[in-house]
Amino acid sequence: MSRRTTDFQRLALFFAAVLLTIGGLWLVSLAPGALAASFWTLRETLIYGAGVLALGSMSITVILASRPVWIEGMLGGLDKFYRLHKWFAIAALSFAVTHWLLEVVPRSLAQRGWIARPQRPPAAAEPVIPAGFDPFRDLEGIAVQLAEWSLYLVLALAALALWKRFPYRAFLKTHRLMPAIYLVLLFHAIIMIDRSYWTAPLGPVLALLMLGGAVAAVSALVRRTGVSRKAVGRIENLTPYEGNAVLDVEVRLETAWPGHRAGQFAFVNLGGVEGAHPFTIASAWRRDGRLTFSIKGLGDYTRRLPDHLFVGQAVTVEGPYGRFDFRDAPGRQVWIAGGVGITPFIARLQALADQRLGLTEADAVDLVYSTSAPDEAFIETIRRLAERAGVRFHLLVTPRDGLLTLDRLADRVSDWKDAGIWFCGPAPFGQAIRRAMMARGLPATRFHQESFQMR
């Protein structure tokens, strides 16, 4: 999709197109008159429809969780994957609950006599049941029971995932159950789905989604997700900045790394029970196997790192991922960093300094850094890099200068409206700046914001 499409529009179009495609294929796969039948026949048709949409959404949720980099360009980066992953997960859960309610509510109402039961056909001779094992017949009860219990479990896990106070370590452990739950629900779908669908237009698409989901789920269960993009190395240096609680972790890789662009991130496993965390790479790629990660002590895990890491410690790095890559038109850019959001800009400053191209006025860059906890050594490093790169550096210390607003930004960068805006920092801060800029006429396609969230 074109850069003229905003990230949100790109994701919304993809989300809507997928659901409409699955729903449309289901509709054209129905027998004539299926939606004009009696209540109970229509109920059965809708049960299948909700199940198909739930299965398709679940399959895409699992596939996106496997981090397929071949669609990063189309969707705007892996950080956007996780937003889309969340949307499809919510859609899958909604369709699954609808599927279940359509099954149990009318039956319960009929048992209470509140609605009429369907008329039974006249008694006929008992059908002859073929001898031998028939999975679609003999496993039906097990498939239904497993799916119902899986739905209860998914509802509980979804509530925990949306509860921000639920510890990340526990969230990660519970989330690892999802691939197994998906395979159980896939078994339910294979046993219960209307056989006519497989020869209808819906069949090939649904089969492809189920196959992709199954491969992704099995890969996750055996811990093979992203294995082809992993490199191993050791910590070469640790530099703590006490003033802003940032720890620079310098890693020397010992296996192949494909290289990265400034602004990309990687999943870094520094040992311990929490596994890999996403961190922006705070260094330019110089083909020497070295990567730097500037890690802010924001949560329990990151706050403990200075006490647990040591030089020589083994590290696994998976990536690179992301499309926060500073490609824009026109060439004039304004970078806005909040707190540890300075990290991708440090990498870009290094890259520009290494290239020694010299920025013209047409492609000039202003870096505006807002921080509540400045560390002099940290700030001085950025200042020197900016000078070498030819980037104008503006520092705002919030206890002294106040919060960065568009008016304060305009006092320092008067031509911001003519530039491409690149923002990295707390999401509410970015949303406030973006809304203010849009209100003053900045095209939405010129505001770029990394939006990575693990949950």
- What pLDDT does 52 receive? 96
So what's the pLDDT on residue 2?
43
Mean pLDDT, residues 369-390: 93
Q: Are 239 and 227 in contact (CB under 8 A)?
A: no
Left if phi > 0, otherwise alpha if psi is -120 to 50, otherwise beta: which for 263?
left
Please tell me the predicted confidence (pLDDT) of residue 1. Answer: 43
User: Mean pLDDT throughout 261-278?
Assistant: 86
Query: Which CATH number applies to 7-113+137-221: 3.40.50, 1.20.120, 1.10.10, 3.10.450?
Result: 1.20.120
Rounded to two decimals, what is the model's pTM?
0.85
pLDDT reported for residue 284: 93
Q: Is 370:403 a contact under the CB 8 Å cutoff?
A: yes
pLDDT digits (tens, 9 = 90+) for 320-372: 998 888 876 558 999 999 988 999 999 999 999 988 766 666 689 999 999 99
Residue 3 reports pLDDT greater than 60: no
Average pLDDT, the chain: 88
Terminal Cα distance for the chain, rounded: 26
Q: Tell me: cis bond preceding 201? Omega within 30 of 0 counts.
A: no
Q: What is the pLDDT of residue 125?
A: 53
pLDDT at position 297 is: 84
Residues 31 and 23: their CA atoms lie apart, in Å, by 15
* For residue 292, pLDDT beyond 80: yes
Q: Give residue 291's pLDDT.
A: 97
Domain boundaries, the chain: 7-113+137-221, 227-321, 333-449
Q: The domain 227-321 belongs to what CATH superfamily?
A: Translation factors (2.40.30.10)
Taking 70 as the threshold, does the pLDDT of residue 83 lie above it? yes
The string of pLDDT tens digits covering residues 145-160 is: 999 999 999 999 888 8
For 417-422, what is the mean pLDDT? 93
Q: 333-449: what CATH class?
A: alpha beta
pLDDT in tens, 96-149: 999 999 999 998 988 888 888 776 666 555 555 565 666 666 788 899 999 999
